[in-house]
Chains A and B, each alone.
Chain A
Amino acid sequence: MTNAASVVIEVQHNRSFGGASEKFLRRRAMQAAIARCILFAAAAASVLVTVGIVYVLVTESASFFSHVSIRDFLTDTQWTPVFENARFGVMTLVSATLTVAGIALAFAVPAGMALAIYLSEYARPGIRETVKPFLELLEGVPTVVYGFFAVLFVTPLLQIFLPELSGFNLLAPGLVMGIMILPYTASVSEDAMRAVPMGLREAGYALGYSRFRVAAQVVIPAALSGITAAFILGMSRAVGETMVVAVAAGQNPNFGFDPMEGAATITAYIVQMAMGDLPHGSIAYQSVFGAGIVLFVITLIFNVLGFYMRRRFREVY
């Protein structure tokens, strides 16, 4: 009340005294200009940083590719950058990366779907309101914690059932990564399912559908592109995830898709090289950027795909 009143008085005051009013307006214009400059600088800085990263990635890997042919890079099955006879077959790292991400997805898709269906179609609102924030909390757990969880808990546990499992392997980090992306994929899928109009569900029930049939035959098909987007973005996160694999999958570059053995993924290799002190400009140093650009392209593909699916699912109804 008093505030509003004083504003009114100030405005009237400014109006009735021409000079003061102009000063007031000038000050406001100045404030707006400053605010605009600061916001623009912040926005420009973030764009510049991104552009800078891509620039470094491209130039450094360009000099890498002047030493290693792209053909060898993509077809060789050895990755031995610090050996005397260095070989740079990036598929060695890609195979491990995709194996871990595939295991993560094989766990996260069914578990995430079950959770999302439960939350969206079965749970009472009270339960949903409790579980959803809990899921978001899980998303905030530092990934290094998941890494040690994989190597100190999940691997020994799996070794009880699979005695031939190596201490470093792809299975445990894959499963743990599945657990890690589960909250994200489940909660985004649940959002997509809840966006399905109630009228569509009612049509199913009116036809005599059970709750499960409504979920399976009506809600999931209607939310499918949103659900797919959730899992593609989850996959992209799994591909880019570093700590879990660096800790639990070992650092041996092995070509192959055997989940029982350890193998270095792209991210594990990058973090390993970044922690060692490689001479600047050496080919091993540059190979980090070669691997980095492959990682960049893979996650970019997944993100674009996920973005496209998300847009499509908005257009369905």
Chain B
Amino acid sequence: MQTLNAMHSKKPDKIPMKNINETVYVTSGADAAAAASNTLRADVKSLSFWYGENRALSSVSMPVWDRKITALIGPSGCGKSTLLRSFNRMHDLYPGNRYDGEIRLYPEDRNLIEMDPGLVRLRVGMVFQKPNPFPKSIFENVAAGLRVRGIHRRAVLDERVEKSLKDAALWNEVKDRMHDSAYSLSGGQQQRLCIARALAPQPDLLLLDEPTSALDPIATAKIEDLLTGLRQSVTVIIVTHNMQQAARISDLTGYMHMGELIEYGDTGELFTNPREKRTSDYITGRFG
């Protein structure tokens, strides 16, 4: 496995070589120097996770690069959501769950598994599969994350809410009805509202769990556009069942299978040249 990187040189990328456990890290050795200029936003180190007795993650290791979009793909039940929800300690809301291993958060280099979950969630935003706006006005939904961080000045709120709605490509549709209920929006608009709500506090890391699976192609395209527009400013991890989507928008892709990260690396490489048979089976199976 460690030798695989030498075989591929046709498409240099910026991902440094890294190899722990079983995961195949798709890299291009030719560009190791460029890789050094990349900064880590987080680094998963031998993370295992249990729902009660039921092990859902087996020793996953994976770097998360700053201001890149990382996609997680894999068959249903393979642990994508479990891994994603470890980044903001969502599992801590339910009794009986257990982590083992580390997720180091940079730049301060702390293990977020041992931090206070509330503190972690102040830095890591999340968008869920099903749009879940609060029963409040459109404005208050986006302002919610600012208020909990102690921002109450009207001018600041107005400005940040507007910017987030623009980033989420929703501003033009809602600017004249900011004080209407969020439930008056369509499903696709509600999901973009949830993205704006997550963006407003400027999280270090944004997690998205199948954010477009409940949406039609037009709403999906809008959200994909806004995510690619964000890639320069925000670090994103997105779980998706749609492989074209992963290929279109992500810089890096991880393929998971039965709680393990089978292969992880540059998206173009992984889709055109998967190293692992299981990865290629999954990808080709889907593409027909």
Contacts and interface: CB of A to CB of B under 8 A. Distances in A.
A210 B118 contact: yes
B121 interface: yes
A205 interface: yes
Given A202-B93, A217-B144, A316-B183, A207 B197 contact: yes
Interface in B118-135: 118, 121-122, 125-126, 128, 130, 132-135
B128 A203 contact: yes
Interface residues of A, number: 21
Contacts of B95: 124
A205 B122 CA distance: 9
Nearest to B117: A205
Q: Main SS of chain A's interface residues?
A: helix
A207 B93 contact: no
Nearest to A199: B132
Contacts of A316: 135, 183
Interface string B211-245: 00000000000000000000000000000000000
Interface residues of B, number: 25
Interface in B188-214: 194, 197-198, 201
A200 B148 contact: no
B29 to A, nearest CB: 38
B12 interface: no
A41 to B, nearest CB: 46
A197 B133 CA distance: 11
A205 B201 CA distance: 14
B238 to A, nearest CB: 15
Interface in B79-95: 88, 90, 93, 95
A222 B135 contact: yes
B93 A203 contact: no
Interface in B13-63: none
A24 interface: no
A206 B198 CA distance: 9
A222 B148 CA distance: 18
B149 interface: yes
20 contacts: A124-B95, A197-B132, A199-B128, A200-B134, A201-B93, A202-B128, A203-B128, A203-B134, A203-B194, A206-B121, A206-B126, A207-B125, A207-B144, A207-B201, A208-B118, A208-B148, A208-B201, A210-B118, A224-B135, A316-B183
Interface of B: 88, 90, 93, 95, 118, 121-122, 125-126, 128, 130, 132-136, 144-145, 148-149, 183, 194, 197-198, 201
Interface of A: 124, 197, 199-210, 213, 217-218, 221-222, 224, 316
